[in-house]
Amino acid sequence: KKWLLLGFQPKFMRQIISSYFLLCPLALILSLNAIASTAEELPQNMLVDSILLVIESSSGDSLTMEEAYTLIRKNRRELGQYYIKVLRAYGLRASETGYRKGIMQANDRIGLQYRYDEMYDSAIFYHKLSLEMALECNDSVQLYYTFNNLGQAYRKQDINVLAIGYFHKALAITEALGDSKPSSYTLNSLGATYVVQKDYDLAMYYFQQSVNIAEANNDIKTLAYNFGAMGEVFLELGNPDSAMYYFKTAKELKLQTKNKKGIAVSDHLIAQAYFEMENYTEAEKYFNLSIPIHRSEHNDRYLAMCYAYMGMIKTQQNSSDSALYYLNEAERIALSKHSFETLNVIYPAMFELNRKMGN
């Protein structure tokens, strides 16, 4: 465990220890194992400094670089706001030592985190950096991940034409490799993109393809995504009873995996189904379960949609002030995220509220 304290040593001591790591790779591997086994117990600054030291000390060989990369990924949540900083340090070290795979991985992961943070322009920038090198290296595995991630970044902005193109490029790679397992996630994303375009037959086709692969691989996480998405199709088609079945099935699967963010999504979809059944009390109850999680997880697009529906519920309950508050908040967030799907819900709701208020 003494290696865990190295991040707090004076700079000259860090240089001496770094040189020792270079001369004794086994010591570096042992330090990686020590950090990995106690990472959750470490103060954040100690964890960050320790991982940075490990990165700096790597000679660029695939063994130690992959171990360091795995360590970073496993501690994404513990690293918090420093996660991207640590990935950049890893990418820089990979560049200095000529470890091109590490450069691709770092850029793709940085892009992924920016997507989670809903900073889509930055996400696309880093994914394209990864893509450029993956093409140079003819790295099929990295190409799949990067094509898929670019598709997701464009889908989240409702730029569906570009999203669909990248998803199909990702699927073409899995087909060429003869590995269908990762394609389940991409097929789900394609289906979700076609839902937005209201091509429900094609959406259901891709969801079912994804379900078939996910079931064969016992992929509970992707199964939950698909059942939730299928429920959304039934909701769009005006069949909230069937939608409710799929939403609740998806939630049960997410409870198995303890997917907090996913459970919140299921709760707000269940709420939407209750809204369509005109059961506003149950709808409000489930929205109030999901809103605090969306807020704490910074899922602003989902939060905006929840606020829009809460505004419509309050309109039905003749609570005009609350309705106006929720709809204004929904509009503010949706505009900041360029969420046209949510704005298409908000503006008719505002019109209805104004009509009821006699404006």
Sign of CA dihedral 164, 169, 170, 172: positive
- Say if residue 2's pLDDT is above 50: no
> Distance between CA 235 and CA 242 in Å, rounded?
8
> Distance between CA 227 and CA 230 in Å, rounded?
5
Task: Please compute the mean of the pLDDT values over residues 235-252 and round it to a whole number.
Answer: 97
Task: Please compute the mean of the pLDDT values over residues 278-283 and round it to a whole number.
Answer: 97
Specify the amino acid at residue 60: G
> Distance between CA 77 and CA 73 in Å, rounded?
9
Mean pLDDT of the chain: 87
pLDDT of residue 179: 83
- Say if residue 88's pLDDT is above 80: yes
Of the given ranges (163-167, 180-184, 243-247, 306-310), which has the lowest mean pLDDT? 180-184
- Contact (CB, 8 A) for 114 and 78: no
At 133, list the tokens.
């090198």
Backbone angles phi, psi at 131, to 5 degrees: -60, -40
Q: Which of 285, 264, 266 is nearest to 275 (CA)?
A: 285
- Say if residue 309's pLDDT is above 80: yes
Give residue 178's region: left, alpha or beta (phi > 0; psi -120 to 50): left
**Digit-coded pLDDT (tens) for 111-121:** 999 998 889 99
- Say if residue 252's pLDDT is above 80: yes
Predicted confidence band of residue 12 (pLDDT cuts 50, 70, 90): very low
218 contact partners, CB below 8 Å, separation of at least 6? none
pLDDT of residue 55: 87
279 burial via Cβ count (<10 Å: 0-12, 13-18, 19+): middle
pLDDT of residue 40: 53
pLDDT of residue 48: 86
Of the given ranges (59-63, 173-177, 348-352), which has the lowest mean pLDDT? 59-63
pLDDT of residue 41: 53
**Digit-coded pLDDT (tens) for 20-79:** 444 444 444 445 454 444 545 557 788 888 888 888 888 778 888 998 899 899 988 889
> Distance between CA 185 and CA 144 in Å, rounded?
12
> Distance between CA 85 and CA 63 in Å, rounded?
22
> Distance between CA 294 and CA 302 in Å, rounded?
7
pTM of the model: 0.74
> Distance between CA 279 and CA 93 in Å, rounded?
57
pLDDT of residue 282: 98
pLDDT of residue 43: 72
Predicted confidence band of residue 244 (pLDDT cuts 50, 70, 90): very high
Task: Please compute the mean of the pLDDT values over residues 246-252 and round it to a whole number.
Answer: 97
Q: How far is CA 88 from CA 68, 69, 105, in A?
A: 13, 11, 10
pLDDT higher at 257 or 37: 257
> Distance between CA 83 and CA 64 in Å, rounded?
19
Q: Over the Cα atoms of the chain, what is R_g?
A: 23
pLDDT of residue 181: 85
- Contact (CB, 8 A) for 261 and 297: yes
DSSP code for 159: -
> Distance between CA 252 and CA 219 in Å, rounded?
14
DSSP code for 47: H
